[in-house]
A and B are shown apart, each in its own frame.
Chain A
Amino acid sequence: MLKKISNIGDCGIVCDFGDEVNQKINEGVIKLFHYVRQQVSKGNLKGILNYTPSYNKLIINFDLEKINSSKIIDFLKSVNFSQLNFSQNKKKWTIPICYDFEMDLENMSKTLKIDREEIKNIHLNTTFFIYMVGFIPGHPFMGDLDSKLFLNRLKTPRVKIPPGSVGIVEKFCNIYPYESPGGWNIIGRTPIKLFNTKDNSNPCLLSSGDSVKFKSISKKEFKNLNNE
């Protein structure tokens, strides 16, 4: 449920759905996100520039030359939330992962007192929900991992993590779309490109609200897929 609407700066609106991080609250955010996006593409909301869903909030940014906060708030107050649909936009993905590229399984196994193979199995058997995409292009924030695998961030983040690396922290699982620094526990790597700058119409693979299951592949399969 939408709990509070307020402004951020003079060209942003925050739709706040409450403090918790769970799929139910996030589904409410994503429903409103799809609705706003739909209205924008129909030309019903001129001047809206961006709509960014996160765990429990939707931020709407706009061109102050064309529209203002009070008009957007009026629009949001007129939305009939009970009629918004969530399931129509949901996609199910299978993402290949090669666990041979792990960097932290040894330490994780010691800390968690769980066998390496069992860690992989738990990860493979989890259906992840994509709470949001962002920070950098194509980057998914996924959950919820089995509580048996809950871990903190690395004490010292790595300076460089290769693109495609799959990491876990607490109940979340991430895929790094670009080479970057990072403090997540790396358990493998995917050859799949999450953001394709050659594709002008649909550059981003994953969307908020989609679900993801991982499929284990060998180093050889990784190489073949990576060259595609």
Chain B
Amino acid sequence: MSNSFFEVLRAGINTTYQDKGRFHMQHLGVAPGGCMDLRAFLIANALVGNNSEDGVLEFAYQGPLLKLVKGKTKIVITGNVLFQIIKTNNEIINGECNKSYDLNEGDQIDILATKKSAYGYLTVEGGFDVKPFCNSVSTLARAHIGPNNGEKIKIKDKIIIKRNSSNKKNFKTKVLIKDRNIIRVLEGPQFDYFSKEGQKDFFSKDYKITNLTDRMGMRLEGTTIKNTVNTNIRSEGITKGAIQVPADGQPIILLTDYPTIGGYPKIANVISADYYLLAQKIPGEKILFKKVELHKAEQLYKEHLNSISEIIKNIKETN
């Protein structure tokens, strides 16, 4: 028996297979990649009873329109997403995030838009049938790495599901949407390269997210930060969430698909606990950076992980 599969009727803007990321390869120029919002990713897999390593489909802004051509599956969408399920009898169900749904042959799922956020996630019970490259199914489109020949999902592609749904029950959980504009950071390795005034402005003025934002980086616009030492450094390895300030004084935050090596001074680095909040910000939004110390960042990350465990623990059966 061949597998169940979706056909892509509309691809969406940036729909890709992703998981936790691909590690132990940055020294070869391969960024870890993976889901932009790991919290929404973990909740998605938990709701359909998958392993936390399983790959999902990530979409940005406008998601895909998929038709289940063959089989029977259980899906879930996480994030803050507007979507509909169109049954074969044309009945339309307005979808709720963080809740699983059964789809039968011929049903369609129309992921219309992410609401006040950038990324959403779709997964299916049992996972998608995709081949890992170097232990990960994350797509790094720039380097053609990952499933689907390392490319974004296109119209008419087949999305193959590993197995039919076997669980008769459905599940949901409650996820509070956080809408905080404060992003906490640690001082970066070249913090001292910037003028006292620039350092002060960085922690007190708003920075607007511009349209030049994607999985690789986020360009900000705001008060110019003056460099008093050197606007270039010896190229060095990049860490996710590093905030570079090139010669024009406007910060760039390096995101999940970052170039592995960079030569601009780094004023700060976003803490791990706040990364998913930052990744979900959209162009036009304003953010404010707040400095914390390392031990505080470590403690906040523990709390962040506990809050995800709590959400997963609160998964309840629904109808």
A-side residues, CB < 8 A to B, are 6-12, 14, 19, 21, 33, 37, 40, 49-59, 61, 64-65, 68-69, 132-139, 141, 177-178, 195, 197, 200, 203-204, 207-208
Contacts and interface: CB of A to CB of B under 8 A. Distances in A.
Contact of B272 (A19, A64, A207): A64
Interface in B236-264: 236-242, 259-262
A61 B240 CA distance: 9
Contacts of B270: 9
Contact of B235 (A11, A141, A197): A141
Contacts of A69: 294, 298
Contact of B142 (A37, A132, A136): A136
Interface in B119-164: 133-134, 140, 142-145, 150
21 contacts: A8-B242, A8-B266, A9-B239, A9-B241, A11-B272, A12-B269, A37-B24, A52-B26, A52-B236, A52-B260, A52-B261, A53-B27, A58-B237, A59-B237, A69-B294, A134-B261, A135-B261, A137-B29, A195-B143, A204-B25, A207-B28
A6 B189 contact: yes
Given A12-B239, A136-B142, A136-B143, A49 B260 contact: no
Contact of A10 (B133, B186, B189): B186
Nearest to B142: A136
A208 B27 contact: yes
A228 B8 CA distance: 34
A221 to B, nearest CB: 26
A42 to B, nearest CB: 13
Interface string B9-39: 0000000000000011111111010000000
Q: Which of B29, B188, B240, B301 gathers most chain A CB within 10 Å?
A: B29
Nearest to A54: B236
Given A68-B298, A135-B260, A138-B29, 10 more contacts: A9-B269, A52-B236, A53-B27, A54-B234, A54-B235, A55-B236, A64-B272, A133-B29, A135-B261, A200-B134
Nearest to A4: B189
B239 A61 contact: yes
Contact of B298 (A19, A40, A64, A133): A64
Give the residue among A33, A69, A197 with the most B Cβ atoms within 10 A: A197
A55 B145 CA distance: 26
B234 A51 contact: no
A177 B30 CA distance: 12
A134 B241 CA distance: 18
- Number of chain B interface residues as a range: 35 or more
Contacts of B28: 133-134, 137-138, 195, 203-204, 207
A26 to B, nearest CB: 11
B297 interface: yes
Contacts of A136: 29, 142-143, 259-260
Which residue, of B25, B239, B305, has the highest number of chain A Cβ atoms within 10 A? B239
In the complex, the 4 A-B pairs of residues with the closest C-beta atoms, listed nearest first: A52-B237, A59-B237, A9-B269, A50-B26
A139 B272 CA distance: 28
B26 A197 contact: no
Contacts of B260: 52, 134-136
B282 interface: no
Nearest to A132: B261
Contacts of B272: 9-11, 64
B302 to A, nearest CB: 8
A134 B29 CA distance: 4
A118 B268 CA distance: 47
Contacts of B262: 135
A50 B25 contact: yes
Contacts of B235: 54-55, 132, 135, 141
Given A9-B270, A50-B24, A53-B27, A59 B32 contact: no
A139 B26 CA distance: 11
Contacts of A61: 26, 32, 237, 239-240
A87 B298 CA distance: 38
B66 interface: no
B29 A139 contact: yes
Contacts of B145: 137, 197
Contacts of A178: 142-144
A40 B24 contact: yes
A163 to B, nearest CB: 11
Nearest to B23: A49
B271 interface: yes
